Amino acid sequence: MAPATAEPKTEPIATRQAYGDALVALGEAHEEVVALDADLAVSTQSMKFGKAFPDRFFNVGAAEANMMSISCGLAATGKVPYASTFAIFASSRSYDQVRLGIAHNELKVRIGASHGGVSLGEDGASHQMIEDIALMRAMPKMQVIVPADYNQAYTATHESFEREGPIYMRFGRPSTPIVYDEIAETLGDGVDVLRQGKDISIFACGHMVWRALDAAQKLEREDGIEAEVVNVAIIKPLASKAVLESLAKTGVAVTAEEHRVTGGLGDAIRQVAAEQHPVPVFALGMGDEFGVSGTAEACMEHFGLTSTGIIDLVREAMVKKPLVQHPPIRGSSLD
């Protein structure tokens, strides 16, 4: 694989910026890479590719279904399409086109879904996608990646060219603090222990990862709780072994995601725990509710998607943590 040669970022920056930057690098390295957008190319950052490679960039206008089916045709004819739009249009609006044309055919199409979650902000519920991870996890053959910061988003996008099969990548709108010092060549199994701890596991993805690290620091300082922070960037297929190792160590977990607790990261972790190492798993995320208008930060706070929200749930979890630990069950059918 061509190494990711970009300079790692150190200051807060949006993950969607990394998507656009890595896309240009991929376009330079591989002639078969093409990009599509549906009239949001400046927002998703695919316009960077469009300016660099106008012949290989297709802005289909406000027609997301058409974009996904066109991507199918391009991939069936040897191209590697990166189709970009807001997460809401990339998942729910064009679900059937992604499902039949891309996932069912196991085609090498990469969906760059920007503006995921409530941190899209002011546009409100109509644009805040909070169930895309659930939708895409449920879709057969679809892989789901949610990077935590710019540097990891660059790795995810850059490496996606080498991976087989369809991939859904979720990026965010607002600037978000840097978690990874380097731009790695690979996501590996997509489950990284960012901070070791013995008392409780915090599994987080996307914009909740830096908040989980912040929460862990405060928990150690204020409560003496040693929380293990695990970034789950590849939610499907989930590296269950890495999840189990943390669960076996701590015996209780909190999950944190900018998404409905139904079908998202929380459910993915609970699935592994329930089958192979049944310990309590408490999920922080959106309940049975839609988003609202506000600034990105105000929206996150409104729904408790903050380090304080994580801290509160960890304290509750520690009270309910079982006193006796059992070893994990091996030889299960989960991947």
Does the protein bind another protein through residue 105 (CB under 8 A)? yes
CB of 35 to another protein, least distance (A): 12
Contact mark string toward another protein, 5..44, x via CB under 8 A: -----------------------------x----------
Does the protein bind another protein through residue 72 (CB under 8 A)? yes
Does the protein bind another protein through residue 65 (CB under 8 A)? yes
| Residue for token pair 């660099």 | 52
Closer to another protein by CB, 12 or 61: give it.
Answer: 61
**Strand 80-86 to strand 57-59: parallel, antiparallel, or no bridges (unpaired)?**
unpaired
Does the protein bind another protein through residue 46 (CB under 8 A)? no
Contact mark string toward another protein, 82..101, x via CB under 8 A: --------------xx--xx
Closer to another protein by CB, 31 or 182: give it.
Answer: 31
Q: Which of 7, 11, 55, 164 binds another protein (CB under 8 A)?
A: 55
The structure tokens listed for 129 are 């996608």
Contact mark string toward another protein, 131..150, x via CB under 8 A: --------------------
Residue 33: phi, psi to the nearest 5? Answer: -75, 125
Does the protein bind another protein through residue 106 (CB under 8 A)? yes
All residues at 6 or more sequence positions from 331 whose CB lies less than 8 Å from its CB, including other chains? none
Q: Rounded to whole angstroms, what are the CA distances from 286 to 20, 73, 86, 131?
A: 28, 36, 19, 9
Q: Rounded to whole angstroms, what are the CA distances from 190 to 58, 120, 176, 236, 237?
A: 30, 24, 19, 9, 9
Q: Rounded to whole angstroms, what are the CA distances from 44 to 116, 139, 184, 258?
A: 11, 23, 22, 18
Q: Rounded to whole angstroms, what are the CA distances from 156 to 40, 151, 289?
A: 21, 9, 30
Contact mark string toward another protein, 267..306, x via CB under 8 A: ----------------------------------------
* 8-state DSSP, 118: G
Among residue numbers 141 through 200, which ones bind another protein (CB under 8 A)?
A: none
107 touches 76 (CB < 8 A): yes
Does the protein bind another protein through residue 73 (CB under 8 A)? yes
CB of 74 to another protein, least distance (A): 4
The catalytically annotated residue of 7, 64, 226, 301 is 64
Does the protein bind another protein through residue 74 (CB under 8 A)? yes
Q: What is the rounded CA–CA span in Å between residue 156 and residue 205?
A: 13
Q: CA angle, corner 296, sides to 131 and 18, nearest 5?
A: 75
Active site residue 64: yes
Does the protein bind another protein through residue 60 (CB under 8 A)? yes
Applying CB under 8 A, the span of 14-22, 104-112, 121-129, 277-285 interacting with another protein comes to 104-112
Applying CB under 8 A, the span of 78-86, 240-248, 297-305, 309-317 interacting with another protein comes to 78-86
Q: Is the dihedral of CA 141, 1, 147, 112 positive or negative?
A: negative
| Residue for token pair 């316009």 | 47
User: Maximum distance among all alpha carbons in the chain?
Assistant: 62
Size of the site for another protein (CB under 8 A): 29
Q: Which of 9, 16, 48, 79 binds another protein (CB under 8 A)?
A: 79
Residues that bind another protein (CB under 8 A): 34, 55-56, 58, 60-61, 63, 65-66, 68-79, 81, 96-97, 100-101, 104-106
Residues with a known catalytic role? 64
